[in-house]
Chain A
């Protein structure tokens, strides 16, 4: 019995970690900018493509393979530095105060553009480079051989939760963000540069998405269509957790990860149904998500 439960739990954790990276950025951006970024999944896959390209380059030049870990981080930083300010200044800024329909459609337009740009730049073949995963080797837990890389993923997800908590509660920037989230007009009127906060928040969201994509490539590779799949999964997780809730997103990732792995173990044909079914059940009972609330919204 234990032999079945341990791998199940570890699988769920690793699966939850990857979903969490995709969802937490979405939820963060929503809580600060109040815009649901439909193109978020594309930024996840762009992070993956860039990381895979750099890793493949490292492998082809026979550079030190440990550089590929730095490459994963580096690609996420690059994607965030380029796309964060570009999207906020060029597109999303224009939709503030407009209806949800406009915001969703504008970012849907961006999603269409980014999906095709990837096809043009990276082609339609799938990218796969597992050097980071091979380097870390395996561990045997309870008689089951387990990939260390997946443990690293879970650790990284924990780091992100703690890091975001620290950022929001214990830094000046965090206080500014909280002020903007709580009352945008008041924050503006006491002289907080909300435009700068929005750019930073969106860039952070893009960074988390791209990091998720980069970290996912060594395990599963990357192919066209990943952006659309990730988007809807991140959406489900963010909604279950309560839009704008970081801990909510973490818990929701665990629920979705567990639901998915359980489905794979019990009814393999239904694995794709599990996350959406979980979202449906939670939203029907608590339409504002597990941690969400109707009136007050915190970050």
Chain B
């Protein structure tokens, strides 16, 4: 039953841009942010809140820009290499960050990401400073496409990746390794008694979440065509946590539902008012107060994980 609903939802998503072409950009960006929020949600399972995951989002987007500048012009290669770059940053940062818990984990992630942000904004000669860097239209398997055609390919690629990567992450979360994350949240010491190395469980989760954020960043870079330091600003990280909690951290669909909801709310709100953050802030507070399991929690009968 749930498979049918999911398939129907994806079919609707796939057909929406045919009916309303302006939605294509919005949906591509929503899926990209959904990946990053999914990364945040993986860590939230272990009770770790990262206000710094926009760094991995930005790192991969910058990765694409740098690789393109170096002459690499193939979509698949760019995606794989830039996600690897995001994951590599995740290994380095994660190896010392997973020692910390609660508010200290949040703060250190913030510190690392703000160093990254400030460097991107200030090293004008390397990153173009606040002007950012262009992300050119790449070739798709050797075929050079015009911009509209490429955006089509990008949307359906994102949609496909959402299904494939989503299933993979679902498997990971349902594996013993994934269940260990919730165990870290509820009783870390018991896990140690059982002989499970908590740091390894968390480091794997951290790298997975960095790679997911990186995938989202690379897709967003292609969709927007430019990467700027603001990708990594702390408010962007806050928005990613917001999306994860809005959707519901219980399962994979939550992150994408949250991202879709927020992007659609955004494009709806900007047509009436400039103050869309006002609406988002209020929505966030209401959701957290009255729906601790997020929007996805409304659709699941089983008790979903909540904060």
Contact = CB atoms under 8 A, between A and B. Distances in A.
B111 A236 contact: yes
Interface residues of B, number: 44
A113 B277 contact: yes
B119 to A, nearest CB: 6
Q: How large is the interface on A (under 10, 10 to 19, 20 to 34, 35 or more residues)?
A: 35 or more
Interface in A87-125: 91, 94, 98-102, 104-106, 108-113, 115-117, 119-120
Contacts, number: 119
B207 interface: no
A119 B288 CA distance: 25
Contacts of B121: 272
A3 interface: no
Interface string B218-254: 0000000000000001110010011001000000000
A284 B278 contact: no
A91 B284 CA distance: 12
B285 A283 contact: no
Given A91-B285, A235-B107, A113 B278 contact: yes
B281 A284 contact: no
Interface in B170-186: none
Given A104-B49, A104-B51, A273-B122, A280 B281 contact: no
A199 interface: no
Given A104-B49, A273-B119, A283-B104, A232 B114 contact: yes
Contacts of A120: 275, 278
B167 interface: no
A232 B47 contact: no
Contacts of B274: 119
A106 B288 contact: yes
B234 to A, nearest CB: 5
Contacts of A271: 122
Interface stretch (B57-65, B83-91, B95-103, B192-200): B95-103
A149 interface: no
Contacts of A276: 111, 114-115, 118
Given A105-B241, A105-B242, A119-B274, A283 B111 contact: yes
A109 to B, nearest CB: 4
Contacts of A73: none
Interface in B260-292: 274-278, 280-282, 284-285, 288-289
Given A109-B284, A120-B275, A272 B122 contact: yes
Contacts of A113: 277-278, 281-282, 285
B238 A38 contact: yes
Interface in A246-282: 269-273, 276-277, 279-280
Contacts of B238: 38, 108, 111
B284 A116 contact: no
Contact of A269 (B49, B123, B284, B285): B123
A292 B244 CA distance: 31
Contacts of A38: 238
B14 interface: no
B241 A100 contact: no
Interface of B: 44, 47, 49, 51, 96, 99-100, 102-104, 106-108, 110-112, 114-115, 118-119, 121-124, 233-235, 238, 241-242, 245, 274-278, 280-282, 284-285, 288-289, 307
Given A228-B234, A231-B234, 8 more contacts: A36-B103, A100-B102, A101-B241, A104-B49, A108-B281, A109-B280, A232-B234, A272-B121
Interface of A: 36, 38, 91, 94, 98-102, 104-106, 108-113, 115-117, 119-120, 228, 231-232, 235-236, 239, 243, 269-273, 276-277, 279-280, 283-284, 287-288
27 contacts: A100-B106, A101-B241, A104-B51, A105-B245, A105-B284, A108-B241, A108-B281, A111-B281, A112-B278, A113-B277, A113-B285, A116-B276, A228-B235, A231-B234, A235-B110, A239-B107, A269-B122, A270-B118, A270-B122, A271-B122, A272-B118, A273-B122, A276-B114, A279-B111, A280-B108, A280-B111, A284-B96
